[in-house]
Each structure stands twice: as C-alpha cells, then as structure tokens.
Structure 1
C-alpha cells in the first residue's frame, strides 16, 4: 500500500507537475495514471478521530482495491484549509475529500478556481449548482442512532441518561434526537442531560463533562465524543458509542454503537468521477441504513444481557427501516436537557 501522509505545509512543490493535466475534464485524468484516481483527504483532526476515521478507512479500502491513489493531511487548521485545498488541486488530484464545516465560505471561494477537480466535502450546507464540482455529505446515521437509543432505554435503571456532544450542529443534533427517540420507545419518562464541549477532539473535557452528569444521576452515557466512555468505565456505568465501535476497548462499558459506513458515499463519488458524471449533489442519502451507510454494531460482550423486548424491537425496526416502511425523523434542532 502506498498511502502517503503529507504535512499541511509540504505540498507546495506538487503543483509544478500538474500543469499538463490541470485542464482535463473531470474523470479524464485517471487514464493518465493507470486508471486510478488520485484522491486527497484534508482533515482538521487526527485520522483516529471517530468521524474522520470512517472517511479514512473507506479511502484506504478503495486504494487496497486498486481504484485510487490516496494521500492525506490531518490536523489542518481551518485557517490553513483553503491553502491546502489549492495545493492538492494544483498537485493533480482528481478528487479531494474532507470536511469544511468550520470554513464553508472560504472553501467555496477556492472550488471555482479548480473546475477540473472534484470536491466531496462534509458540510452543513447543501451543494450549489453554481459550484458543479462540489458535492456535499454528512453523516445521516440517525437510523442507527435511533436503534442504539432503544438499547439504551432498556439498559438504564435510573431513567437518567447523559449525552455529551462536540458542537450543536445539525450533524450532531439529528443523531442525539434520534437516540433520544429510540430510548423513549422503551421508557417515555426517561430524562436526558445534554451538553456540548465546544470541540471535536478534547477527551479530557468530554470526560469531565461526563463525570458531572454521573454525579447528577446519569447511569448511562451517550458517547458522541472520545473521553465519555472513559468516564463511564471509571464510574462503572454503561455507555453507547457513536460512529465507530469502541466495545473492544471498553468490553464491560459500551453496550452498542451506531456505526457510520462511508464506503457507499465515497464509492459513488469515485464511480461518478471516473465516468465524468460528478456533479453538485447531496450525498447525504448514502449514509442512510437502506443504502448501507450505517448499522448497529454487534452486541458482542453484551449478547444475552440486553432485555429481549429491546432486541426484538431493534430487529423489527431494522427490517422496517431497510424496507422503507419506517422512517426515523431527522431533527436538526439543538437538543436540550429534559
């Protein structure tokens, strides 16, 4: 595997070799390097972080299949993001993936300058026909979050659940609301403590926030951020994971997790770039459960420990979601404590 990890300051020289291909239409460049697309990822946090890790894993899988050549830059500050976008575009990459939640306006000023480069970006806003080479996505995994809530509602004994998130943006809010709706399926009187730490990656702060919730009666935590499950483990209570399956690290703590699968999103973009059909579209649908974009993690160490009624409801709701007979509500409003 030839994945390269490039610092966000080490790309300037790459543009010199790109001039000969910079004017080729979307998808045409692949033929100039063995049919493989050149794909670059730009991430504002470490690739180990939950959300970004799912994009990174999907890109590594596509490279392993021989479809792309993949390089990436992590820990890119928002102030540097537009510059790194330009450097990757000028470096001859066919497709640039990443997340522009904190730099929407600046990123959308860069994209028109590179009409022969496809951009697939996580965004709180929709695609714009005026930017035909920008497609947007986010993690619409409310289906799996709802199912994890059912499990949580069955496992809490006090009916008091603590929820720690990064920022109250739509991508987080909709998952919290779906989780809360699932929990209320088992117990409509459940109370929720909701707090946001103002960071995507600050495990100590998330842990301290979780400790406060436990002191206030929570016996189960929704771990939208790293650090929350550590607090649950230390205090001997349960947690529900988000985006990735952390049960192997917390076998006696994490009961279930809503998993995001970025592969349907990325694979669709790769195919469209290769076919010359990439356009301004909303890729959010590819995170839906019926598209294979999310799932509930296996129960693992908690197999047989979850009340049968909850397991049966999860199975029934999963089937209904996949068939289209049941739609989990998408609520992007900021959730509040009960």
Structure 2
C-alpha cells in the first residue's frame, strides 16, 4: 500500500514537474514573441479644420496608414476652435498620448507652453517658427518643388496669359508655394500675369469660389487652387485649374490639369521611429517634404496627358530630374506674393 502510494505520488510529481517545464517553455515563447512585436505608440491628432480639408487630410492619411500597419494607436479631434485648442492639447497629454501631431499656426505660445509642461510627451507641430527644447518639433509642407513644376504647366497652357491665384492666408507656408508656382509659370511664359487673392480662411469653399469667379471675369483662364472651392468655379466657367496638396483630378477630370502633391508619410515615419527609440528631440522636419525624401511629387497628368503640349511636358520632365538630382534648386520665397495686373 505504501509502495503503491509512493509510486503514484512520484508519478504525480514527475507529471507536475513536466507540466511546469512545458508551461515555462510556452511562456518563454510567448514572451519572446511579445518582445518581437514593438509596443504601439499612442498618437493623437489635433486639427482646427475638418479632416476633409486638403492639408489636414494628408496628415490624417499618413497616420491612418501607420495605424493600419499596427505601429500606432491613433485618436484625433477635428474642427477644434483656437480658443479651445490648448485645452485639447493638455487633455491628450494628460491622457498619456506619447506623440501629439497638431498645428501651431496662430496659437504658437499656448502650444509651446503645453509642450514645456509635458516634457515626456513628443509634440510634432506645424509651425512657421523653429523647433524648441527636447520635445517640440516642427514641420510644414515644403512642396515648393512640385509647385514650381505645376507653374510651368500652367504657363504653357494659358491662352490669355493671365493666371488667378486664391489662397487662405499670406503666411510663409502658403507664400512659398505660390511664389514657386509663379516662377515656374514665368519660365514657361515670361510675360504671364497674375491676380492674387487671400480669403482669410483655411476652409471656406464658397468664399474661395467667389474670389475665383472675380478673377475669371477679369481674364484668368487658369486658376491656382490653393483652397477648396476654386476648382468648382473653374469647372462652372469652363476654365482650367491647378491643384495643391492633393490630387483632385478624379473629381474634376476636365478641369484640374495637375497638382503639387504632399506626402506626409516620411515625416510621420521619422517621428514614430524617434518616439519608439526614445530619440525624439526638437528638430525641423521640413526637409522630409522635399521630393528627394519622397515627401512631395507632381501628380500624373491623367486626363490631360494628351492635352499638355509635348515640348512643355519635356521641359517639365527635365526640370523634375534636375530637382531630384540637385542640379536645380527651387528658390524658397516666403514673401507675400503680389498681383501683377
């Protein structure tokens, strides 16, 4: 009896030990797998306009793609009033967001004050001013290179020799794109004339549309659509338009000739990697919007492939290659562009 109990107990001990060993192996495997999968970075986006607005839509798209790859957990707030912006930033910082992507235009001081109060939170802010401290980086859509190329196309396509340009606000981020576009247009047609107007809003399509109508009435046959609403005016009046930041030709196949596209992915990727590796510092991310970093590009001509003159396309292609190789540099001019008629 005693021997039988001893054998049974010994067998149970052996099985228990074997079970514990197998469990330990399984647990070790699980731990290894967990270590192989980096923890997702908690990211918040804060925007003063709807995510449909072209500029913000590029940021949102890049963050959604990172979320789709399993790199981040992404939440956002859109159409946030500037008077409420600081509170929302603080709310996300208090909530443990590791990276906050937002815009500091018109709210520079409050945004930078929040960053100082939350030194462990990484802030990537659209700004006209330099980075600050160890956690306040800045970015912008430095897409003046493809803007120059679209200007060349517009200059070659204009029959009246008059281009209308409608922008939101005359700030460096807008001015440099308009100035680059104008220089490109002048390369194609040295005597080209411009009408320039700012609507005082980042998202007011009806107002932008009315400004465009006024320019068409004064002889513009091509419109630079820095804001939504301009292409609608061009479509209604049978004129052409040049897009900005996103490709709207699918919506306006007979109106939008080409667009200067902004790709936020390189900027977002750099920030996520820096946060994950514990190396995020205050720096200027503007360079990641350049063509050499694939942060911007000229859209395909699409429906206008056979409508743009062949010699113009050849010149644009040559300029594009020179920009990418560094043989040609598009001048950065942040001064407010002026009408020439």
Question: Could you give the per-residue CA deviations for residues 291-319 of structure 1, whole angstroms, max 9, x where no partner exists?
Answer: 11100111111011101111111111111
Residue number in structure 1 paired with 2:111: 107
Bigger helix fraction: 2
Residue number in structure 2 paired with 1:208: 210
Question: Could you give the per-residue CA deviations for residues 149-180 of structure 1, whole angstroms, max 9, x where no partner exists?
Answer: 01101110000000000000000000000000
Residue number in structure 2 paired with 1:199: 201
| The one of 35, 47, 54 aligned to 1:50 | 54
Structure 2 matches for 1:213-292, cutoff 5 A?
Answer: 213-292=215-294
Shift of 1:34: 5.8
Residue number in structure 2 paired with 1:307: 309
Residue number in structure 2 paired with 1:174: 176
1:329 aligns with 2:317: no
> 2:259 is paired with a residue of what secondary structure?
strand
Structure 2 matches for 1:22-33, cutoff 5 A?
Answer: none
Q: Give the RMSD, CA atoms, in angstroms.
A: 1.2
- Aligned-partner Cα distance in 2 for 1:324–1:85: 39
Q: TM-score, normalised by structure 1?
A: 0.89
Give 5+ residue unaligned stretches, structure 1.
1-30
Residue number in structure 1 paired with 2:100: 96
Count of residue correspondences: 306
Q: TM-score, normalised by structure 2?
A: 0.88
- Aligned-partner Cα distance in 1 for 2:286–2:38: 30
> 1:80 is paired with a residue of what secondary structure?
helix
Residue number in structure 2 paired with 1:37: 41
> 2:83 is paired with a residue of what secondary structure?
coil
Residue number in structure 2 paired with 1:160: 162
Question: Could you give the per-residue CA deviations for residues 52-110 of structure 1, whole angstroms, max 9, x where no partner exists?
Answer: 00000000000111100101000001111111010001111110001110200111111
Residue number in structure 1 paired with 2:75: 71
Point out 4+ residue stretches in structure 1 off by more than 6 angstroms.
Answer: none
Shift of 1:213: 0.3
> 1:89 is paired with a residue of what secondary structure?
helix
Shift of 1:42: 0.1
Give 5+ residue unaligned stretches, structure 2.
1-34
> 1:329 is paired with a residue of what secondary structure?
coil
Question: Could you give the per-residue CA deviations for residues 2-26 of structure 1, whole angstroms, max 9, x where no partner exists?
Answer: xxxxxxxxxxxxxxxxxxxxxxxxx
